[in-house]
Chain A
Amino acid sequence: MSERVLIIGAGQAGMQLAVSLREDGFTGSVTLIGEEPHGPYQRPPLSKAFLSGESDEESLELRSPAFYVENNIVVISDEQVVEVRWDAAHGTAVTSTGRLIPFDKLALTTGSSPRRLSIEGSELDGVLYLRDMADAKNLKRRWDKAEHVVVVGGGFIGLEVAAVARKAGKTVTVLEAADRLIARAVSETTSEFYRAAHERRGTRVRLGASISRFVGDGTKVTGVELDGGEVIPADIIMVGIGVIARGELATQLGLETVNGAIVVDSHARTSDPRVVAAGDAVLLPHPLTGDGQVRVESVQNAVDQAKLAAKTIMGGADEYRAVPWFWSDQADLKLQIAGLSNGYDATVLRGNPDDEKFSVLYYRAGRLIAIDSVNDVLDYMAVRKALGNGQTIPADQASDTSVALKTLVQD
């Protein structure tokens, strides 16, 4: 009997895993199941082009329905796997409709869900999150009528929404609990640049903000009350305070998890070799050095890990090695990040943030490990290539903008 692969989670990683199995010549059955009412689609535009109206639902579709049929990939939508177990000879998934799906190999691409705020008023109508298409439609439905938008959390998603709202002429306030924006992902220089850049465009940014409650008229939210009593009016509140890995099914199977994140090795294998996992839900060995474990919440990681997981299912022994990269579009500012800056001990600033075109290069023990580039594609591309080749750029020369970074790359 030919092998049956079940992929749970129909996001970017799940879709890629299914497609890669077929591209690599897998001849068994491939079933991709997701709880959303439609097939796999792109999530990144939900906080950008979809919200601004530049793209619609159909244009976000990752593959056409006909593509899955032609490639013999069974896509099951609007159905959640509630239980998964190994029987003697094979595994079985039980769905929310009571359907039983048998499998021989399992892939978990379960993704993540937004961290929820639980404070007084957090259940009021108009307190919104943004992760999936349903969230985005919910936000968009209220968008045109909303004059006052408050964003809770100064991370990528919150700042992207803030930028779209401001461009649409709304009054926008970003509330961030930490003393700088995007603190988890970028250096102080980049954080400070984004604070100033958003304020230049008319968004109010409040750092060190401590929220006491959301206030409303009984059903609908009308504002945010800060400690001290100040109330900021809000027609909608978009909460973007991070995500939690969805490791419930992994836990059911007794797989190793850390804070819900599914632990995988460099082959995308979980602690049970019959189960692979990829994407946002995963805690993986550092993709460049192999040292330590990281979570990488990005399209790039979902795609590259899924490709590797497909090879592992087919018996391959390749190890995961990929340059992490990421982007965030906020107003006319394109941030591109290559590498992982975790654990850096020095930075080099290249260019002038006041020009809204600059880069920050991150070093550890004298070696280049990452870059943030704002509106500077050439710097970003040079570093991405260098990191992929295991190369570096001397820190003492990197700040000279009269010299192209790519000419400074060395082993």
Chain B
Amino acid sequence: MPNVTYIQPDGKEITIEARDGDSVMETAVRNGVKGIIAECGGACACATCHVFVDETFMDKVGGPGDLEDDMLDGAAENRTDCSRLSCQIKMNAGLDGLRVRIASEQV
């Protein structure tokens, strides 16, 4: 199963083995990773699971969809070219080793 590493707002890194098909958000929340709030539970409705994807993975992860793009405009921490809502990134073998930095402000 693919690994994903989270860089938490306090700077600590945590690596978790994700279930294939689970989102980066779900994997984080279920395992108590700090900083991902995910108030809406993954419906792309709240912009509280904002992460910055490691640049080297941006090609594989891809950019946000239209709705997600608008949500990111309203995110608490200013977006960058690597911003995604982690509920919209599904883990698979191709993303093994993925690194994301969690936005320090979510609400």
Please determine whether chains A and B interact with each other in the same assembly: yes
B79 within 8 A of A: no
Whether A327 lies near B26 (C-beta < 8 A) is: no
We find that the number of chain A residues with CB closer than 8 angstroms to chain B is 28
A 268-312 binary contact with B (CB < 8 Å = 1; else 0): 000000000000000000000000000000011001000000000
B58 contact set on A, CB distance < 8 A: none
Whether B32 lies near A70 (C-beta < 8 A) is: yes
Q: Smallest distance from the beta carbon of B56 to chain A beta carbons, Å?
A: 27
Q: Smallest distance from the beta carbon of A106 to chain B beta carbons, Å?
A: 25
CA distance A334 to B19 in the complex (A): 27
B44 contact set on A, CB distance < 8 A: 334
Whether B67 lies near A334 (C-beta < 8 A) is: yes
Given contacts A59-B26, A378-B73, contact A300 B39 (CB under 8 A): yes
Considering only residues 33-52 of chain B, those with a C-beta below 8 Å from chain A are: 39-47
Whether B32 lies near A71 (C-beta < 8 A) is: yes
A64 within 8 A of B: yes
What's the dominant secondary structure at chain B's contact region? loop
B29 within 8 A of A: yes
We find that the number of chain B residues with CB closer than 8 angstroms to chain A is 22
Q: Smallest distance from the beta carbon of B7 to chain A beta carbons, Å?
A: 19
Whether B22 lies near A378 (C-beta < 8 A) is: no
B 45-72 binary contact with A (CB < 8 Å = 1; else 0): 1110000000000000000000100110
Whether A381 lies near B47 (C-beta < 8 A) is: yes
Contact with A327, one of B22, B40, B74 (Cβ below 8 angstroms): B40
Whether A378 lies near B30 (C-beta < 8 A) is: no
A177 within 8 A of B: no
Whether A329 lies near B43 (C-beta < 8 A) is: yes
Whether A67 lies near B30 (C-beta < 8 A) is: yes
A171 within 8 A of B: no
CA distance A334 to B71 in the complex (A): 12
A61 contact set on B, CB distance < 8 A: 30
A375 contact set on B, CB distance < 8 A: 67
Q: Smallest distance from the beta carbon of A356 to chain B beta carbons, Å?
A: 13
Interfacial residues, chain B to chain A (CB-CB below 8 A) = 19, 21-22, 26, 29-32, 39-47, 67, 70-71, 73-74
What are some 23 contacts across the A-B interface (CB < 8 A)?
Answer: A45-B41, A45-B42, A59-B19, A59-B26, A61-B30, A63-B30, A63-B31, A63-B32, A64-B30, A64-B32, A67-B30, A67-B32, A70-B32, A71-B32, A299-B40, A327-B43, A327-B45, A377-B73, A381-B47, A381-B70, A381-B71, A381-B74, A382-B74
